[in-house]
Structure 1
Amino acid sequence: MSEPTADPSSPAFSGASTASPLRTAARPAAEFKGLSHPALRLMLNEPDDAAIAAALDALLGDDEDAFEWQPVVVDAARIGTAESVDVGAVVARLRASHLHPVALAGAHGALRGEAERLQLGWLAALPERRGRAAEAAAEAADVPGAAPASSAAAAPAAAAAETSAAAPAQAEPAADAPPAAAPAATQAAMVIERPVRSGQQVYARERDLIVIGDVSPGAEVIADGHVHVYGTLGGRAIAGARGRRDAGIFTLGLRAELVAVSGIYRTFEDGVPAQHAGKPVRISLEADADTLSMRPL
């Protein structure tokens, strides 16, 4: 007698189930939970609509695929109560670049109606979060009018002044004196398994930083140890932020705006040199000089 055969279209054959999804009796169908999620914070530093528009154009560029609808909080805490700003124009520009404004923070009461019209949340003033180490890293990254590393003989004092309120500015070492050794990074590396988008900053304190993905133009990656970018480095990268001279920057594709090691920096206003552009590169300090070297990986 032959064995009965299963019907391939039947739930028993396919493994499908006609039963409704299991529900836990104590759990409601919907509920609110607290959430801590990273969002971009757009700081409005002055109530000049034209200046804000120009700054946004410089930050966002023309690449509509760079942000993937990341949430943005527009921080207007630095706009005075007697001043006004075109929040609608800011929101429209962000949305045009595939960013998603979700709230207005720290704004004076006169802007509340505009926030409601634009369907933005209303947040109290956000903390500045200017810790000593974070402030050191942020100031080290913000080097206005930086000169190329080839003119580094005049740069160390200026670069040191930019580094930190946390650590005293380092005087330029004498030509015949060996530089003081900075403490090596001892903690496990910080690993970021996502791209770092424009406007974001990542700081690995007393450790190496590993980014698995691209670093967009306008983003900053900073470490007291080495910086590794397993992708294209298109923003700013700072290694040895607290003076570690043997730190280095490693990337699979160099398109950076600025690179720095132990306070010695180089900018690329005219683009990365052709022999290194878009290629795997290691950047480090020369052993006996305050100059940066770029070598193929």
Structure 2
Amino acid sequence: MSAPLFAFVCCLVVGVALGAGTEESFNYREQSLWGGICNTGQTRQSPINIITADVVQNPNLSAFELSESWTQATASGTFSNLGHNVQFTLAANSPAITTTFPVGEYKFLQMHMHWGNRTGTGSEHRFDGEQTEVEIHFVHKRMTQEGTTSENGLGVIGVYAEVSETPVSGFWATLNASRVQNSGDEINITDFMLSSMLPTNVNTTDYYHYAGGLTTPNCTETVQFFLLRQRIPVPAAYLTYLRSTTDDAGEPLDFNYRDLQGINGRIVEIPGSSTMVSASLMLVAAVALLAVTGISY
């Protein structure tokens, strides 16, 4: 393959992986019309409902490691209304911000948010059927092609925010959603400490992990999710800003979370010292044992 053709193919692969340039527009009220593989019976779609009683401990899962640039360097970039989301995109001249997950080393690309139109809705993933008001995704791309598969090209840290009466300050003020109300609006951000968006004293061993896909078209199944169990507060006033943004058609973007997808036999894991059989599996085993021994219950 010639060098120009190879470069073109690489750019095309990256574009598909990030869902860039593959859909002119989409909205959350007509998810059945999404393009790509979103509605074609794929088996590793996201988001999912995590049943905490079914979570399994995996001794091979370790803490993910944040590079020094997370905490000792500031980032610059743009904060934009994309018509379906608000997103902070790291500037090309900012220091590289990397995270080492148990599945490899990844470079941070962008951060975006998902929210709902009322209290008790907003996050894409659910936990025993419940949502928080905001789900923040820190999207990373695997740094080397070696070892990259269709399941691990992207790594996403998920942070969950619950509504509070705290003031709009700190990173919520820096990422001022009231200044990107309309699709195409954009502001420049400088000297931004990305780690300020993580929970205080973040525990990088306290997460749920599973293999899934992008939650927007083309819904490519290439994401390793690391969903923090620690949560942060989101000011109620900031939620008002988010809910008053508009989409590509000028309609209210008052919610932007995808419908739940089937888990299709996937296992959700947490780091642990030994494999833990889920509560539901233990119940099935107990009933089977009682049937074999003839013990009534």
TM over 0.5: no
TM-score (norm 1): 0.24
TM-score (norm 2): 0.24
Tell which has more relative contact order, 1 or 2 (C-alpha 8 A, sep 6+): 2
